[in-house]
Amino acid sequence: MGNTLFDKIWDAHVVSSKEGFPDILYIDTHFIHEVTSPQAFDGLRKRGLPVLRPQQTVATADHNVPTWDQHLPIKEELSRYQVDMLTKNCAEFGVELYGLGHPYQGIVHVIGPELGITRPGGTYVCGDSHTSTHGAFGAIAFGIGTSQVEQVMATQCLLQSRPKRMKIEVNGKLQNGVGAKDIILYIISKTTAAGGTGYAVEYAGDTIRSLSMEGRMTICNMSIEMGARCGLIAPDDTTIEYVQGREFAPKGEDWDKAVAYWNTLYSDDDAQFDSVLNFNAEDIEPMITYGTNPGMGIGVTQHVPVTADVDPTEQKSYANSLAYMGVHDDESLIGKPIDYVFIGSCTNSRIEDLREVATFFKGRHKADHVTVWVVPGSKQVQEQAIAEGLDKVFEAAGFPLREPGCSACLGMNEDKIPAGKYCVSTSNRNFEGRQGPNSRTILASPLTAAAAAVTGKITDIRELLAEGELVG
Amino acid sequence: MSTKIFKHIQSTAVPLPIENIDTDQIIPARFLKATTRDGFGNNLFRDWRFDENDNPKQEFVLNNPTYAGKVLVAGKNFGCGSSREHAAWALSDYGFDAVVSSFFADIFKGNALNNGLLPVQVSDDFLAKIFDELYSDKDAQIEIDLEQQVIRISNTGDEEAFEINAYKKACLTNGYDDIDYILSNKALVEEFESKR
Ligand code: SF4
């Protein structure tokens, strides 16, 4: 019987597999950031242990950092303290830090790929659930808790039971204005927020194959939103081209060897999956969420599902969720006024996302009442955007290009959505209060967010796209 | 290094019959700025417990003196969302030793087990029974026997077996942790590295 892509990579990293115990899995690179690492460093100190492989550990400051005036000291005291603590800990334990002001600084899941650290066949972990993003390269990438951060620091290994394997195939041609973000929001709306729990999900099919690396990262990024342990996509020419020439990518002979290995990384035709789902790209509309978990999504022209149609045990929570969002049964959200637009986060803050929205914003202006935050995923994305003049396009559209960080994705810095306000957001979570206490998040693609910025309300991007102007 | 040793709990319980309780509700991101593991209990379910002016919201169950105890009973898919271990710390720090639900998110489950907080997964029916019992008798006791892997409603004698990974159970009942285990296999790690 053939092997799945997931099993091939897993097997290549098993240090020890013993009946009745989780496997000891070797970790190629451990990414750390300021929020989930301080207690882990403390744990090492208490145990008197070093970071075992500091050269396989990469640190950045992203969750807490301001996205304006980054050259100035961080104003918010606790944030500053946490970022300083990371600097101190990295110095003490010999870990390379891409901190504020460093040309490589950025959201941890954006910088790993763009620096060529994330590569096919590798194992990656980070104390952040969206580590699943790195799976887009055909890698195993898990989000972990702080005890596990300490574990990986101490041992370069992670104790893990092998998850079940799921395959999600998407085939067919996407409609104009529909992109990777819509695909994954659509999938999650079908699986529900718990439907992938216990699984490693491999995305396959010609629609997935046709996506750029940025699009694939968007898909894998949100695997965790259906509860999956991780998501991955078999590497192909698109992957190899993306990695080639990047700062830390293998060079010369090493490169050739690596590529030869990467070409063996796919699920065999007769590989067995524990679950298989199939979707048609043609069925996918531009998606938006109406509730308070990412599974509560609909096509932009559809209506909010009626409470009475929901599973009886969930009706109360469902009704609470609609009340929180200020939407009601059977409402069409098209035309609903919104207050903020956030284009950013590890889901949609890469250069391709910024190019796409800049193309749309060219010659258009944001609605007066809408505040627009465009936050690049990394310093490199920011520099690239400026080099291409995208910042000028945004300024002409009525808002600036900000500086890199997680920003309004989780509102740990100053970028918080005020209570009761609606934000169309390209991030990955619409949980209650995620973007600020009592804020209301509507998840969408960068294009749908950009459309809302211009019209000031929920809009079907397809209506704004002149025939052939743009393909999402 | 040992975690808390854990065998048996008997306690009253707090009902929170909401599905998909995510880690942003358990501990909102703005409270993740601490650099130690302590004190998160004060901000557990912060935005459900307190209003904008930090006044307790009377309707929320943790502000309702009727219910208290070491066991939180919650709707399905508890702990979805972020990997923040702070969610497990907050529940423990507040005083919970176990969370009972009919479904747990993976990362949360792992984090809880690594922090001496026992996630007990029961059937939808059994969960409904516990809620019914708690609503008819606020003092109803829930017993959780980790050795036997059984959860029981004391009043009615209803019980159900629950699953737990054998290794994790051994960690909890003996007070050792994953790092101890991997370090005891350090030679294998080095051998693995030397072969690459
Ligand atoms: S952008 Fe949001 S989801 Fe991504 S790493 Fe930062 S906080 Fe997590």
Residue A469 lies in a domain: no
Q: Tell me which H or E stretch contains A280.
A: strand A275-280
Q: What is the DSSP letter of A293?
A: S
pLDDT computed for residue A129 by the predictor: 93
CA distance A389 to chain B (A): 34
Evaluate whether B103 touches B121 at the Cβ level (below 8 Å).
yes
* ipTM value for the complex: 0.89
A35 and A178 inside one domain = no
B47 and A437 within 8 Å at the Cβ level: the answer is yes
Beta bridge partners of A140: A123
Give the residue among A377, A387, A296, A293 at the shortest CA–CA distance from A343.
A377
Q: Which domain holds residue B93?
A: 8-195
pLDDT computed for residue A470 by the predictor: 53
A319 and A447 inside one domain = yes
Using alpha carbons, list the distances in angstroms from residue A437 to A292, A296, B51: 13, 20, 10
Residue with tokens 């479904």: B103
- pLDDT band, residue B174 (cuts 50/70/90): confident
A159 and A187 inside one domain = no
Span B107-136, mean pLDDT? 95
Using alpha carbons, list the distances in angstroms from residue B106 to A193, A225, A227, B138: 12, 12, 7, 30
AA identity, residue A45:
R
A169 and A158 inside one domain = no
The rounded distance, in Å, linking the Cα atoms of A399 and B73 is 46
| pTM (2 d.p.) | 0.94
A443 and A398 inside one domain = yes
Sheet holding A57-60: strands in order across?
A: A96-98, A57-60, A29-32, A123-126, A140-143
B85 and A314 within 8 Å at the Cβ level: the answer is no
Residue A435 lies in a domain: yes
Q: Is residue B1's pLDDT more than 50?
A: no
Give the residue among B67, B77, B75, B85 at the shortest CA–CA distance from B141.
B67
Q: Relative to the CA of A347, which ligand 1 atom is closest?
A: 4
Q: Is the CB of A406 under 6 A from ligand 1?
A: yes
Residue A53 lies in a domain: yes
> Could you give the angle at the alpha carbon of B118 between the alpha carbons of B116 and B123, nearest 5°?
170
Span B157-168, mean pLDDT? 95
The rounded distance, in Å, linking the Cα atoms of A222 and A52 is 31
Chain A touched by B182 (CB under 8 Å): yes
Query: DSSP E strands: which ranges in B12-124?
Result: 13-16, 71-74, 98-101, 118-121
The total of structural domains in chain A comes to 3
A383 and A445 inside one domain = yes
Q: Is residue B4's pLDDT more than 80?
A: no
Residue A126 marked in a binding site: no
> How confident is the prediction for chain B on average, in pLDDT?
93
Size (chain B), residues: 196
A128 and B33 within 8 Å at the Cβ level: the answer is no
A132 and A227 inside one domain = no
Distance B1 CA to ligand 1 centre (A): 31
Q: Is residue B6's pLDDT more than 80?
A: no
**Residue A11, by phi and psi: left (phi above 0), alpha (psi -120 to 50) or beta?**
alpha
Q: Which residues of A357-393 are buried (b: 16+ CB within 10 A; e: fewer)?
A: bbebbeebebbeebbbbbbbbbbbbbebbeeeebbeb
Percent of chain B whose predicted confidence (pLDDT) is above 70 = 98
Chain A touched by B184 (CB under 8 Å): no
A407 and A329 inside one domain = yes
Q: CATH number of the domain that A192 lies in?
A: 3.40.1060.10
Residue A261's Cα: distance from chain center in Å? 27
Evaluate whether A42 touches A82 at the Cβ level (below 8 Å).
no
Residue B2 lies in a domain: no
Residue B37 lies in a domain: yes
Closest B-chain CA to A152? B179
Q: Which domain holds residue A345?
A: 287-463
Evaluate whether A387 touches A354 at the Cβ level (below 8 Å).
no
Distance A114 CA to ligand 1 centre (A): 16
B179 and A16 within 8 Å at the Cβ level: the answer is no
pLDDT in tens, chain A (472 residues): 899 999 999 999 999 999 889 999 999 999 999 999 999 999 999 999 999 999 999 999 999 999 999 999 999 898 999 999 999 999 999 999 999 999 999 999 999 999 999 999 999 999 999 999 999 999 999 999 999 999 999 999 999 999 999 999 999 999 999 999 999 999 999 999 999 999 999 999 999 999 999 999 999 999 999 999 999 999 999 999 999 999 999 999 999 999 999 999 999 999 999 999 999 999 999 999 999 999 999 999 999 999 999 999 889 999 999 999 999 999 999 999 999 999 999 999 999 999 999 999 999 999 999 999 999 999 999 999 999 999 999 999 999 999 999 999 998 999 999 999 999 999 999 999 999 999 999 999 999 999 999 999 999 999 998 655 554 4
A154 and B192 within 8 Å at the Cβ level: the answer is no
A226 and A336 inside one domain = no
Give the three-state DSSP class for A137. helix
Residue A153 lies in a domain: yes
> Could you give the angle at the alpha carbon of A288 between the alpha carbons of A282 and A289, nearest 5°?
130
A328 and A439 inside one domain = yes
Residue A159 lies in a domain: yes
Q: Relative to the CA of A410, which ligand 1 atom is closest?
A: 7
The total of structural domains in chain B comes to 1
Residue B3 lies in a domain: no
- φ, ψ of residue B5 to 5 degrees: the values are -85, 140
Closest B-chain CA to A156? B189
Q: Relative to the CA of A33, which ligand 1 atom is closest?
A: 5
Residue A421 lies in a domain: yes
Q: CATH number of the domain that A110 lies in?
A: 3.30.499.10
Give the three-state DSSP class for A262. helix
Evaluate whether B81 touches B106 at the Cβ level (below 8 Å).
no
AA identity, residue A351:
I
pLDDT computed for residue B2 by the predictor: 45
A350 and A405 inside one domain = yes
| Cβ-proximal residues to B169 (8 Å cutoff; 6+ apart), any chain | B146, B149
Chain B (130-169) residues lying within 8 Å, Cβ to Cβ, of chain A: 165-167
AA identity, residue A467:
E
Residue A472 lies in a domain: no
pLDDT computed for residue B196 by the predictor: 86
A18 and A151 inside one domain = yes
Chain A touched by B5 (CB under 8 Å): no
pLDDT computed for residue A313 by the predictor: 85
Residue B75 lies in a domain: yes
Chain A touched by B61 (CB under 8 Å): no
Q: Whose CA is nearest to atom 4 of ligand 1?
A: A346
Q: How many CA atoms lie within 13 A of A404 on its CB side?
A: 34
A16 and B166 within 8 Å at the Cβ level: the answer is no
The rounded distance, in Å, linking the Cα atoms of A115 and A127 is 19
- Of the three residues A282, A315, A343, the one that is the final residue of a domain is A282
Q: CATH number of the domain that B99 lies in?
A: 3.20.19.10
Instruction: Report the 10 Å Cβ neighbour count for A235.
Output: 27
Q: What is the DSSP string of A313-374?
A: GGHHHHHHHHHHHT--TT-B-TT-B--EEEE-TTTS-SHHHHHHHHHHHTT----TT-EEEE
